Amino acid sequence: MTNVTENATEPDFQDDGLEADHTEIAEERARRQRRALIATAAVVIGFAVMWIVATTMSGTIPSIFASVLRSAIEPQTAAVAIAVIGLNIHFGFTGLLNIGQAGFMLLGAYGFAIAITRDVPLLFAVLIGLAAASAFALLLGLPTLKLRGDYLAIVTISAAEIIRYVGRLSQLTPVTGGSQGLPGSQYRDPFVNLSFFGDGTTTIGPFSYQNTGVNGWWIRFVAWLLVGICCVLVYFLVRSPWGRLLRGIREDEEAMRSLGKNVFAVKMQALVIGGALGALGGIMYVLPSSVQADSMGRTLTFFIWTALLLGGAATIFGPVLGTILFFSVRILIRGITGAVVPPEILNTQQSDQFSWVVVGVILMLLVIFRPQGILGNKRELQFNA
Amino acid sequence: MQPPVSAHGLTARVRTLLGLLALALLVPLAAVAGAAPAAAETLGCQPSPETGCLLGTLRAGETLAEVEISVAGPGGEQTATSGPDGRWSIEVTEEGEYTATIVEDTLPEGVTVEGPVTVNASLGQNNTVLFRLTGESDGSAVGGRSALIIQSAVSGLRLGLLLALAAVGLSLIYGTTGLSSFSHAEQVTLGGIVAFIMVNWWGLPFLAAAVLTVLFCGFTGYFQHAILWKPLRRKGLGLVQLMIVTIGLSLAMQYMFQVLVGAGTVRIIREAPTPISWGPVRLTDQSLWAMGIAIVVLTVVGFALLRTRLGRATRAVSDNPALAEASGIDVDKVVRLVWISATALAGLAGIMLALVLNGVKWDSGMQILLLLFAAVTLGGLGTAFGALAGAIIIGLVVELTPAFGLPGDLKYATALLILILLLMVRPQGLLGKAGRIG
């Protein structure tokens, strides 16, 4: 199967000497950076226009725009973005097919929330959540990382489901809350108490939230700060010798092995780091809501994949852009469908469902016509795991 | 890819497999035949859009039979008695909070129950009531565990056969194209939903609707192959990307089902099925029909794969597409045929699952997707007969998990755990060839 895609890249590398190749790659990089800049600018301008419309006018369209903007800065959007950054280390940089990222999130959330309910200090609770996901990664990686890529895919998705089924076991209700889950009030307080934002409500443009509160400015601030930190972390990681090793493994495992690198160990490190980021995302995901096994199942994993491909795998900022667009575009589609299509054809609930249909179709079209996403480099995605 | 397989090795494998299958079929049947036929009993409650079921299984060491349960709530007060397998069920017609109590005098010696249980009942589904029973029954209850195991084995075989219908197609798709199709689960749901629409909206008789549904599902396979999979293969899209395309398709189809028939469970046939009781085994006539049809269809598919020209060509493409193409096989035609038959089989599985499991929902397929993957991987990726064996094993594991005292919620998890464990010792699956897989 691999032959097909390898052929596609060949013309780029044939004939030209090393020098020509270098200038070509440099040009390509400049083109790509320009494109990325334009795409990012377009998104920012789009949001700015929505902001102006939402704050200066009233009516259906401005209110749709306001809800789009609100969904873009939701703490759960940030949480998913962190998980997407983790998946980017797996899939984008190393080529590991992890289809169980929601399982890592769920495990992190359980570890964190259960630790807090057992009176563990906040920092240690977070570490417990991360450690749980790392141990999970080790457990999954040991038998599968030496096998072909699709085995990791099957094992991760199955293991993520096992965690979900175990988490919602009625016998475990005293620990995990069973299928009802753990309500946020049981583990949220230590985090909320850290806030130095004080009481009261602040309104900025279309956003009006409590300064601290359950789902206010404080959690938004921390969540997006963490997204920023993760981006910086990934930036330095992938530019390190270790990061080049990752991409080397993605492109040609055998070549790396023949250079004397321990491919298995490096893949394992990537799996653990990406999984720990997933767990961090999971912790942020449940802080404003509750730990519920069913909210972090396969569907969430699929959303994470969509967001990653939308933004562009193997890029630094792609996961963040992809996640923001994924959630806000869906709200936009839902709002427009609700406003344009008369309720006799599609009622409110059906508009919501229809927006997901569009999301599914967008995912298909995206992978078919622009597999590298908005910011990605097509050449970096010419691999087959 | 895999090396071509010698005819001798193949027949040996097939023979082992047929042996295994015969064993899987015969063991429960022998157990059934050995048990004395009993009078037909009323089958437990079946949820429908207008009614919901409160149900549970009483177990304290052994299952507890002949225990009275009374339930009070918005729909009035009702009582039920647990059957030989410890199961009881009560039909309710109003949603709301119900209080279930066990009549303590009817409990066996040494078993106590911890207070009444409240449960929020919703219509159109089974609402499980869990009593906290302490102590241990001395096992004098009628039937007991062995009866439960036999009943579960038969249900497992039923689930396994229906899974096999879908899994064989999934495995053939993987074998001939290398694609793990996540949207195959939605093809299963599609069967149930289309049959529901034809019977309930268009008023077609069930059999005609079933035939039309299978044809329609086969057509969706043809259509998808023509507009999606073939052009994409030509374009040279990687397998990972193709897999994500199927994830997108799966998402779009799931929500399309919701737009069409809503998010609740719909039933193709509203009348309660006729229960048939045979010793400790209770099945509906629909289940028996479904199992029979599945066996016939699977036999036909197996025969076609082994004996017909196209079947042989399919297996050749599965083994080595390049070699098959070089020896004059029209790979494109084979792949198209595989897509058509895989989606038609999935549609058939969907109709019968909807009948047997009392309805179909937008995510019915999603529920069994991982079981399908487990079956396909367990048997050996890309081997059609392996998928059959894998599906029956998975079906049995799923249904037998609760019978061996593990929590019923874990029945899917056990199947997946077995899959992971098997991959560690035998990554090529039960019937797969030990090749280069790493």
Tell me: the pLDDT tens digits for A9-26?
Answer: 444 444 444 555 678 778
A244-258, B140-154, B280-294: least confidently modelled range: B140-154
Tell me: the pLDDT tens digits for A81-140?
Answer: 999 999 999 999 998 989 899 999 999 999 999 999 999 999 999 999 999 999 999 999
Average pLDDT over residues B389-403: 89
CA–CA distance, A278 with A130 (Å, rounded to integer): 9
Q: Which residue has the tokens 């967001």?
A: A307
- A364 vs B contacts (CB less than 8 Å): 245, 248-249, 252
Tell me: the pLDDT tens digits for B70-81?
Answer: 888 776 777 787
Phi, psi angles (nearest 5°) of residue B111: -110, 130
A154-158, B140-144, B196-200: least confidently modelled range: B140-144
What pLDDT, on the 0 to 100 scale, is given for residue B27?
Answer: 42
CA–CA distance, B420 with A151 (Å, rounded to integer): 9
Quickly state the pLDDT bin for B434 (edges 50, 70, 90): low
What pLDDT, on the 0 to 100 scale, is given for residue A21?
Answer: 67
What pLDDT, on the 0 to 100 scale, is given for residue B195?
Answer: 94
User: What token pair was written down for A6?
Assistant: 């390898």
The answer to whether A139 contacts chain B (CB < 8 Å) is no
Average pLDDT over residues B180-207: 92
Average pLDDT over residues B393-402: 90
How many interface pairs between A and B have CB atoms less than 8 angstroms apart? 141
User: What token pair was written down for B273?
Assistant: 């099925």
Q: Nearest chain A Cα to B320, which residue?
A: A1
Of all residues in chain B, the percent with pLDDT exceeding 90 is 27
Average pLDDT over residues B326-354: 93
Which residues have C-beta within 8 Å of that of residue A118, sequence separation ≥ 6? Answer: none
First vs last Cα of chain A: how many Å apart? 11
Nearest CA to B24 among B316, B308, B335, B399?
Answer: B399
First vs last Cα of chain B: how many Å apart? 12
The answer to whether B253 contacts chain A (CB < 8 Å) is yes
A214-228, B344-358, B417-431: least confidently modelled range: B417-431
Average pLDDT over residues A237-251: 92
Cross-chain Cβ contact B438/A148 below 8 Å: yes
List, in order of start, the domains of chain A with CATH numbers.
2-12+28-381 (1.10.3470)
CA–CA distance, A360 with A249 (Å, rounded to integer): 31
Quick one: how far is CA A68 from the chain centroid? 19
pTM: 0.78
What pLDDT, on the 0 to 100 scale, is given for residue B46?
Answer: 64
CA–CA distance, A261 with B221 (Å, rounded to integer): 45
What pLDDT, on the 0 to 100 scale, is given for residue B94?
Answer: 74
Render B256-306 in DSSP notation, one character per residue: HHHHHH-SS-B-S--SPPPEEEETTEEEEHHHHHHHHHHHHHHHHHHHHHH
Of all residues in chain A, the percent with pLDDT exceeding 90 is 49
Quickly state the pLDDT bin for A382 (edges 50, 70, 90): low
Nearest CA to B76 among B91, B61, B56?
Answer: B91
What pLDDT, on the 0 to 100 scale, is given for residue A47?
Answer: 92
Minimal C-alpha gap between B372 and chain A (Å): 11
Q: Between residues 294 and 353 of chain A, which touch chain B (CB distance below 8 Å)?
A: 298, 302, 305-306, 309, 346, 349-350, 353
Average pLDDT over residues A180-195: 90
Residue of B178, B259, B377 lying closest to A1 (CB–CB): B178
The answer to whether A170 contacts chain B (CB < 8 Å) is yes
What pLDDT, on the 0 to 100 scale, is given for residue B167?
Answer: 93
As its CATH architecture, domain B52-142 has: Sandwich (2.60)
What pLDDT, on the 0 to 100 scale, is given for residue A366?
Answer: 83
A256 vs A36, more confident = A256
- B419 vs A contacts (CB less than 8 Å): 154, 158
Minimal C-alpha gap between B396 and chain A (Å): 18
Position A136, amino acid: F
Cross-chain Cβ contact B427/A5 below 8 Å: no
Mutate to test the interface with A, among B57, B179, B244 (most CBs of A within 10 A): B244
CA–CA distance, A133 with A283 (Å, rounded to integer): 11
Domain coordinates of chain B in residue numbers? 7-28+147-425, 52-142
A168 vs B136, more confident = A168
User: What token pair was written down for A72?
Assistant: 């873009």
Phi, psi angles (nearest 5°) of residue B329: -85, 135
CB burial class (10 A; 0-12, 13-18, 19+) of residue A264?
Answer: middle
What pLDDT, on the 0 to 100 scale, is given for residue B50?
Answer: 66
What pLDDT, on the 0 to 100 scale, is given for residue A57?
Answer: 85
Q: Is the pLDDT of residue A252 over 90?
A: no
Nearest CA to A1 among B243, B177, B339?
Answer: B177
Quickly state the pLDDT bin for B4 (edges 50, 70, 90): very low
The answer to whether B419 contacts chain A (CB < 8 Å) is yes
- B256 vs A contacts (CB less than 8 Å): 357
Quickly state the pLDDT bin for A265 (edges 50, 70, 90): very high
Alpha helices in A168-216 (DSSP H): 173-176, 189-193
What pLDDT, on the 0 to 100 scale, is given for residue B435?
Answer: 55
Mean residue pLDDT across chain B: 79
Cross-chain Cβ contact A169/B407 below 8 Å: yes
> Which CATH code for domain B7-28+147-425?
1.10.3470
CA–CA distance, A308 with A304 (Å, rounded to integer): 6
